[in-house]
A and B are shown apart, each in its own frame.
Chain A
Amino acid sequence: IAGITQAPTSQILAAGRRMTLRCTQDMRHNAMYWYRQDLGLGLRLIHYSNTAGTTGKGEVPDGYSVSRANTDDFPLTLASAVPSQTSVYFCASGEYGEQFFGPGTRLTVL
């Protein structure tokens, strides 16, 4: 059982480029989440999805978009990356507050 997988593990990206971070879970959880982790700020929710076909904005959604075509996959897209989006991105899935996290994607935007 893999749990949650994320790809890529790390990426260096030129500003202005488009990038999609992938997230897949095999636990059949309805809810999925995207967070960014920055030093001193903890984890901040970017977007979430309560069930397949629905998405919602979190605390810091600007510059990011998500889709939830099925239960397992929840990709996060940066349409035009900016240096302030340099961060570690975590995908999570869960039910009733218990969330299971992926290993993270370290993204550097130059």
Chain B
Amino acid sequence: GEDVEQSLFLSVREGDSSVINCTYTDSSSTYLYWYKQEPGAGLQLLTYIFSNMDMKQDQRLTVLLNKKDKHLSLRIADTQTGDSAIYFCAESMPGNTGKLIFGQGTTLQVKP
């Protein structure tokens, strides 16, 4: 079945770049997503990438997609303390149903 895997924790210093990695199993996913969850809140969509793209950049965020290895990454440049949150990778389920499969989430800790 479909599965999405992430490492659980990442710690960086303020101003450094953060790279959060994700692997997925379903090569037919149309879109792949990154969601952010701040403490005590629901998830918010950060960015997404269409499966026929290799890279997408949006201000401090860069998404890289390696379809051959089924590997997705999110790079946050100049990481700030406000970036501390849990980041979830998600892939769309087959059949364009709108349903998503989420990874376990990576907790990003930004130290001043």
Contacts and interface: CB of A to CB of B under 8 A. Distances in A.
Interface stretch (B10-18, B43-51, B72-80): B43-51
A31 B98 contact: yes
B109 interface: no
A4 B42 CA distance: 10
A40 B8 CA distance: 7
B42 A98 contact: no
A91 to B, nearest CB: 8
Contact of B103 (A42, A95, A99, A102): A42
B88 A42 contact: yes
Interface residues of A, number: 26
A105 to B, nearest CB: 10
A102 to B, nearest CB: 5
Contacts of B98: 31, 50, 94-97, 99
Interface centre among B92, B96, B97 (most CB of A within 10 A): B97
Contact of A97 (B4, B100, B103): B100
A78 interface: no
Contact of A41 (B42, B97, B104): B104
B102 interface: yes
A104 B104 contact: no
B42 A102 contact: yes
Interface centre among B92, B98, B102 (most CB of A within 10 A): B98
Given A4-B42, A43-B105, A99-B43, 6 more contacts: A44-B102, A45-B100, A45-B101, A97-B33, A104-B41, A104-B42
29 contacts: A4-B42, A31-B98, A40-B104, A42-B4, A42-B88, A42-B102, A42-B103, A42-B104, A42-B105, A43-B43, A43-B88, A43-B102, A43-B105, A45-B100, A58-B99, A90-B42, A95-B98, A96-B98, A97-B30, A97-B48, A97-B98, A99-B45, A99-B100, A100-B45, A101-B44, A102-B42, A103-B40, A104-B40, A104-B42
